[in-house]
């Protein structure tokens, strides 16, 4: 008859060993929660983001000591998504045609802003936090401004523009897309007789009208 060997006791987890966090990436989950809260028009706070993430109220403070830190991270994520939209549009635009690229940039801006209104508000207004407190956001905005400036420089060098005042064109273009996006966000289009299904076509038409106005015939 075989001799029964007693089973070895199961090794215990050392008391100092941390248990794995069940979400895997708490920082990412909290940023997504903040973006979702903003999209719902709810008040964004570290504690509310923790509640959405189903973690203890104190857990997020390892990553975000206060609301400003959380909102800066949320804005940087929104900006990353926005920049990805711009980059994708420019990859499809003809490299040798600066006005076509300028148009592609404007349309990508408007389409992203209209499809992601809460994210647009986070990165374009001071409602949620002071933008200057995020070096990454500041740097990326400066890069986008420089990108549009270079498109206009290239267009001027090719003799495509009516005016040599490139700064005025650049500011006017920014005012156009920002103003259109704000009109959409604030629900102005119905009073102008523009239906929900017509807004993107109207955006394209407005961009084309602007390009026609700055380009030489």
Q: Per DSSP, what are the bridge partners of residue 215? A: 161
Q: Are residues 49 and 140 in the same domain?
A: no
Question: Average pLDDT over the chain, rounded to whole?
Answer: 87
Cβ partners under 8 Å of residue 8, min gap 6? none
* Same domain? 48 vs 84: no
- pLDDT exceeds 80 at position 185: yes
Question: What's the pLDDT score for residue 20?
Answer: 38
Is the pLDDT at 61 greater than 70, yes or no? Answer: yes
Q: What is the pLDDT of residues 118-165, one digit of tens each?
A: 899 888 887 777 777 788 899 999 999 999 999 999 999 999 999 999
Please tell me the distance from the alpha carbon of residue 61 to that of residue 149, in angstroms, as a whole number: 40
Please tell me the pTM assigned to this model. Answer: 0.81
Residue 15 lies in a domain: no
* Domain region containing 178: 75-214
> CA 203 to CA 180: how far, in whole Å?
8
- Please identify, among 65, 93, 121, the residue that sits at the C-terminal boundary of a domain: 65
pLDDT, position 24: 63
């Amino acid at each position: 008859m075989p001799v029964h060997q007693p089973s070895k006791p199961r090794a215990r987890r050392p008391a100092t060993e941390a248990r794995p966090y069940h979400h895997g990436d708490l920082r990412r989950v909290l940023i997504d929660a903040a973006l979702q809260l903003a999209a719902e028009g709810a008040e964004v706070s570290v504690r509310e983001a923790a509640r959405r993430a189903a973690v203890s109220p104190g857990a997020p403070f390892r990553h975000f000591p206060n609301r400003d830190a959380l909102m800066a991270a949320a804005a940087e994520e929104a900006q990353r998504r926005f920049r990805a939209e711009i980059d994708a549009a420019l990859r499809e635009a003809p490299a040798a045609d600066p006005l076509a690229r300028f148009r592609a940039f404007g349309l990508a801006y408007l389409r992203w802003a209209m499809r992601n209104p809460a994210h647009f508000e986070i990165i374009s207004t001071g409602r949620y936090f002071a933008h200057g407190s995020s070096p990454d956001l500041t740097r990326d905005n400066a890069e986008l401004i420089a990108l549009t400036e270079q498109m206009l420089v290239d267009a001027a060098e090719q003799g495509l523009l009516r005016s040599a005042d490139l700064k005025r064109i650049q500011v006017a273009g920014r005012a156009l897309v920002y103003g259109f996006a704000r009109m959409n966000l604030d629900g102005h289009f119905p009073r102008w007789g523009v239906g929900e299904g017509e807004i993107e076509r109207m955006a394209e038409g407005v961009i084309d009208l602007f390009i026609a106005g700055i380009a030489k015939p």
